[in-house]
Amino acid sequence: MPNDDLPGVLSFLERFPDEDTCWHHLRDARWPDGFECPMCGEDEDWIFLDNRKRWHCYECGHQPSITSQTILENTNLDLQTWFLAAYLVFTTKKGFSSYELARKLEVHQETAWYLQQRLALIAGPYARRLFGIVEADESYIGGKRDTETKGRSTAKAPVFGAVEDKDDSAGDLVLKHVPNAQAETIDPHVEEHIAKDKATVRTDGLNTYRYLGERTGVDHELVRVSQQDEEAHEIFPWIHTVWGNLKRVLSGVHTKASRAQLQDYLDLFSYRFNHRAQLAEGLEKALGALVQAGRVTREQLKGGAAAKLY
């Protein structure tokens, strides 16, 4: 679907003007072939309770709503607000901070933060395997100045990245927050996200990548930048573009990003990047996933206390 098909905000709200329209869209996305009880799987012996907008399953007695056992379960927000949040988060090039999202949705900042984190759960599963020439590299995100150590930077968060090189453009992207950049950490991500026998991974000469092909079975091209006439950003143009854009987004938009939620921000960034030419398609996936992703609690989203990246 071409990018030009993405509606403006007013057109989007005209398409989803009220709760009933949003409800029917979610119903069709969750059960395109008709209702199936999420508790027992019954798809015939049930009745719809129109006055309560719930189904009653005669097989197990469960009465699920459209949001039962999804990331929308027990939400206090109306569905139209969720739809607008998805539109803003997934179709804006740089995304929004929770403060800016809160202003646009007219909700509290904490509510916008939880909304954004739930939407990040949608983004993660859509990463596919990468094909063709794939540039792989690692970078380090964040780094506040620590006055107690006389200006030395705190430890930064390592991120592994891989992006398809389509010559005059970048293809799909995968970003992973990793504990370190050692071979035993990087190898599983290469095996999981890069298509064996259908891709060639191109890396620099860091020791981590020595013998990468032998360890993972993926075709590997190691380029020692110090021995080349070109600069690193010319040899690996797209992954360096990704690092630059990512750091600008994190430092300029998500100014209070933390280590605990870094993967969520990486998933949102990657989702927008991978759907940049088909934003309408990406939005449709996101709206459907509101009721296809599983339930999550606020405690799970918080992930515990963590140091800030910026």
Residue 32 lies in a domain: no
Q: CATH no. for residue 160? A: 3.30.420.10
Residue 265 lies in a domain: yes
Residue 115 lies in a domain: no
Using the predicted structure, report yes or no on whether residue 114 has a pLDDT greater than 50.
yes
Contact predicate 189/263, CB 8 Å: no
Where in the sequence is the domain holding 176, given as residue range(s)?
Answer: 127-274
Torsion 71-73-74-77 (CA) sign: positive
Structure tokens at 196: 């064996």
Residue 301 lies in a domain: no
Using the predicted structure, report yes or no on whether residue 154 has a pLDDT greater than 60.
no
pLDDT one-digit tens code per residue, 52-78:
999 999 999 999 999 999 999 988 999
197 sits in the region (left: phi over 0; alpha: psi -120 to 50; else beta) called left
Number of separate domains in the chain: 1
Residue 82 lies in a domain: no
Residue 20 lies in a domain: no
pLDDT one-digit tens code per residue, 172-197:
999 999 999 999 999 999 999 999 99
Mean pLDDT of 201-221: 95
pLDDT band at 227 (very low <50, low <70, confident <90, very high): low
Using the predicted structure, report yes or no on whether residue 150 has a pLDDT greater than 60.
no
- From CA 41, how far away is CA 200, in angstroms rounded? 43
Residue of higher predicted confidence among 125 and 267:
267
Residue 35 lies in a domain: no
